[in-house]
Amino acid sequence: MNQKDLKRYKKMLEDSKASLLESAKKTLVEESSFDTDDLPDEIDLASSEYAQSMVFRLRDREKFLLQKIEKALVRIEDGTFGVCERCEEDISPKRLEARPVTTLCIRCKEEQEKKEKSYG
């Protein structure tokens, strides 16, 4: 993979990382606290707690994605970005464009998903 492509993927990853971090900051400031005195009854309180729980669940997924982004940035630095971890073939540019955090080529990913399906 040439340096121009690596720079482009690195920028994509860094932009995604910045967006996730900004979203997390917003959650801490705006969505992580609510005043129970503002909620007149138990139903409003339950609804608000449910919404807050959903936000935290989404943030947990974003934390996992952030870890994948960090690992992809490390792979760019050590020269292994764009190489399948399983078969060591190059990952197609289309796949990297769609999912720059991927570590598997499409063939290996499909095999992995088939195995996961068979375990049910």
What tens digit of pLDDT does each residue of 46-101 get? 777 777 777 777 778 888 999 999 999 999 999 999 999 999 999 999 999 999 99
Position 65, amino acid: L
Radius of gyration of the chain (CA): 20
CATH topology of domain 3-28+43-119: Four Helix Bundle (Hemerythrin (Met), subunit A) (1.20.120)
pLDDT at 34: 52
pLDDT of residue 26: 77
The interaxial angle of helices 42-78 and 3-26, nearest 10 deg, is 160
Q: What share of the chain is helix, strand, coil (3-state, %, to 5)?
A: 75, 0, 25
Tell me the residue type at 12. Answer: M
Find how far residue 114's CA is from the centre of its chain. 22
Q: Name the more confident of 44 and 76.
A: 76
Mean of all residue pLDDT scores within the chain: 86
Mean pLDDT of 7-23: 94
19 against 40, higher pLDDT: 19
Percent of the chain residues topping a pLDDT of 70: 87
Q: Which percentage of the chain shows pLDDT scores above 90?
A: 60
